[in-house]
A and B are shown apart, each in its own frame.
Chain A
Amino acid sequence: MVPLLRVEGPESGSVAIETRNLSKRYPGGVLAVDGLSLRVWKGEVFGFLGPNGAGKTTSIKMMVGLLKPTSGEVLIEGERIQTASKRVKKSIGVCPQDIVVWSRLTCMENLLVIADMYEVPRKVAVKRCEKLLDDLKLTDKKNVLTSSLSGGMKRRLNVAMALIHNPEIVVLDEPTAGLDPQSRLVVTEYIKGLKETKKLTVILTTHEMDIADQLSDRVAIIDHGKLLVLDTPENLKDRVGRGDIMEMALNDEAKNESVREALESMEGIEEVNETRGRIVVRALDAASKLPEIFTLLESMEAKVSNVSLRRNSLEDVFITLTGRGLRE
């Protein structure tokens, strides 16, 4: 694991949510969140990443007031969440990780129930429902019982229910989990829209690094309940290592070690690792280095069976920080 560079990201704007030394210890002694301190700026998309069991959902639940912290506090626009005013409570919309809809109600009815709970006038609520259903491509399912919707449709409705009262802060816990490519595209485009047109503050947890990379202004990675890093995706990728990633497999794996050592001594190569029988090379402008690398391999009589080249990603940051071991 690389050493932590810094935890605080760039300071800008006013604070939407702040957690101060937030900890949660469950009955039985499991410390799910350990001293989490961070600030989410108004109008930013805040990506919250971590492996399974890292404490993301527990942190989110404490942020929205569903869980009581063992210690520390959560401030929403300066008010403690546990004693927050009606105005502050109304400013938060929550899309839980699980699909939480009333299966015996239609899409429209589900949205209207939540609108009622946030005291949205009925006429306004109906208009918003129609707009949300249209934006999330559910208009034709408006009067269909949610029990007969597909998983992707239910998840889109799940997102819509978090937005019916026009919140200023939206917490989306794994909004794209288990979605087909079409639904995934609809949801990601919609989240982009929230950021660009509505200027909402979005807290997003996801396992999909490309979505986090694509949507987030800043990303926090937590593991074992602790915040590891918090920065913009670009800065995070730079911290782990700038450049592109080239992965290759040799016909003869016995030559991996000698090839790795030879590559390490090449100019312009940042890092070389061997993972699961493959040689992983990180280099600035790796494409321009390819002829030189292949010449070296030829001189060593090492034949390449497979090679791929890609840009450095958040996934590399994530894996570097949290390790390759499977969780749960």
Chain B
Amino acid sequence: MTLLFPVVFMLVFGYAFGVGGGQNTPYVIVVLNNDSGASSSIMGSGHFNFGENFTQVLRDLKYENSTVSMLTLQNATREEALKLLMKRSIACIVTIPNNFSEAMEATINSTIRTTVTSLVGETAITLFQQTGGLGNATFPSGGMNFTLPRNETLATLPEAENITATVSIEGDMGYINFGTTQSIIRGVLSNYIETVQSDAKKQVLQAVPKEISVGEDLQHVSVDVESVSGTKAFSTFDYQAPGIIVFGLLMGSIGVAAALARETESQTLSRLKVSLMRSFDLLFGTLLPWTLLAIAQLLILFGVALAIGFDWVGGASSLFIAIFIGFIAGVACISLGLLVAAFSRSESHATTLGILVSVPLSFLIGAFFPLPSQSEVVTAFLPWRQAFTALTSVLTYGARLQDIMPNITAMILETAVLFALGVIAFAKVRLKAE
């Protein structure tokens, strides 16, 4: 058992950190393209929309040396997207502002102007243009083509307009997938702008082949990373707290198992076995004090969390609902302890076995790391998963009691089944004549 423990522990951590799988999975995001596009001589006569182009770039993004897309773009309105974000069904919402194309055009203009002035100086611009300037240079950039003007006056050379656009990336700060995707999208946007600027510079330099040092480009597009509305004040701990609470309760099952195994080891159980005691008497008798202890544990867990700055949604009512959820989870943990005790020969054996069961369970229910959605099919049968979901919904997203009733009902049923299993197993293995 002692040797098995680190093996299982390593497997669980390995799974949690994605080792061994080797498969890249796309992150689901919602892109809200509000870009109204732009019409400009520099882009030819037509209307163009950099927002659409950037969206396509995100859609086409692939993992390195792989055909697997990095991002899956889900269609949704902003309201729908926010709901999906609450449920962590999507990693983030990317909002492209309505002046994104104008800002990109301003980026190109300022790049051209900066490049040309670096080459000939502001005072020689007129002469430069009278001699033919850059000619008809075509700029392919991100699938967009734009053409530089020819034989124009200084006034027609693109002006660096003072336009700025901010691409917003919203998400759950406590969700690891948000951290990953916002980083990817910021990188992609930065690369996209650099490519556009680089293409513009190349065309200018092809027309005037001279070694120059190009000055600093003006920034017209920026990125703003935001947490979802109403959760701005939340820290990572606030998101992790429900998981930590469930983990703490699960650890309590080790105490139950150890206490019952102690009865076996010290032979007091034998003394009880020859009496008129029924298995239900012993196990219900165990359940009562440990339930009180679990409540105390729960209050301590909440107390400590609040003391170190735990922030939650919904005021005192949410806290009371959470304590109720924790109480049921506590009973489920005691039932688990009975089950562990049934297969433990001694206190130390029960402790090891208890750790071996409860720690991986904490990971399986997603108390520390989000798990693939497929795993929910299995973990839905675990009361602690229901407890974790219900606690997160109440404390983090402000869900009301009626919203989490399905979770609570499932928890109660699953706990009753677990307790019955614990009683049967303990009675069969420990309370019968050997």
Interface residues of A (CB under 8 A from B): 64-68, 82, 86, 89-90, 92, 94, 96, 98, 100-102, 114, 117-119, 161
CA–CA, A165 and B266, complex, Å: 22
Structural contact, A89 and B433, CB atoms closer than 8 A? no
The number of A-B residue pairs with CB atoms under 8 Å apart is 45
Q: What's the minimum C-beta distance from A104 to chain B, rounded to whole angstroms?
A: 10
CA–CA, A91 and B266, complex, Å: 24
Structural contact, A67 and B276, CB atoms closer than 8 A? no
**A-B contacts, 22 listed (Cβ < 8 Å):** A64-B274, A66-B274, A67-B434, A68-B433, A68-B434, A82-B433, A86-B276, A89-B275, A89-B276, A90-B276, A94-B271, A96-B267, A96-B270, A98-B267, A100-B266, A100-B267, A102-B268, A114-B271, A114-B275, A117-B275, A117-B277, A117-B281
Q: What's the minimum C-beta distance from A42 to chain B, rounded to whole angstroms?
A: 20
A interface footprint on B411-434 (CB within 8 Å = 1, 0 otherwise): 000000000000000000000111
Which secondary structure dominates chain B's binding surface? loop
Q: What's the minimum C-beta distance from A158 to chain B, rounded to whole angstroms?
A: 9
Structural contact, B433 and A94, CB atoms closer than 8 A? no
With a CB–CB cut-off of 8 A, which chain A residues contact B271?
Answer: 94, 96, 100, 114, 161
B: contact size bracket: 10 to 19
With a CB–CB cut-off of 8 A, which chain A residues contact B432?
Answer: 68
Q: Quick one: which of A86, A94, A98 contacts B274, CB cutoff 8 A? A: A94
Q: What's the minimum C-beta distance from B268 to chain A, rounded to whole angstroms?
A: 6
Q: What's the minimum C-beta distance from A248 to chain B, rounded to whole angstroms?
A: 47
With a CB–CB cut-off of 8 A, which chain B residues contact A98?
Answer: 267
Q: What's the minimum C-beta distance from B133 to chain A, rounded to whole angstroms?
A: 96
With a CB–CB cut-off of 8 A, which chain A residues contact B273?
Answer: 65-66
Structural contact, B274 and A65, CB atoms closer than 8 A? yes
Highest count of chain A CB atoms <10 Å: which of B266, B274, B434: B274
A interface footprint on B243-267 (CB within 8 Å = 1, 0 otherwise): 0000000000000000000000011
Q: Quick one: which of B270, B276, B281 contacts A100, CB cutoff 8 A? A: B270
Q: Is B306 at the interface (CB under 8 A from chain A)?
A: no
With a CB–CB cut-off of 8 A, which chain A residues contact B120?
Answer: none
- Beyond A66-B274, A86-B276, A100-B267, 11 additional contacts (C-beta under 8 Å) are A65-B274, A65-B433, A67-B433, A68-B432, A68-B433, A68-B434, A89-B275, A89-B276, A92-B274, A100-B268, A114-B275
Structural contact, A66 and B270, CB atoms closer than 8 A? yes
CA–CA, A67 and B274, complex, Å: 11
With a CB–CB cut-off of 8 A, which chain A residues contact B266?
Answer: 100
CA–CA, A67 and B272, complex, Å: 14
CA–CA, A102 and B271, complex, Å: 11
Q: Which of B382-434 contact A (CB under 8 A)?
A: 432-434
Q: In this complex, what residue of B is CB-closest to A161? A: B271
Structural contact, B272 and A117, CB atoms closer than 8 A? yes
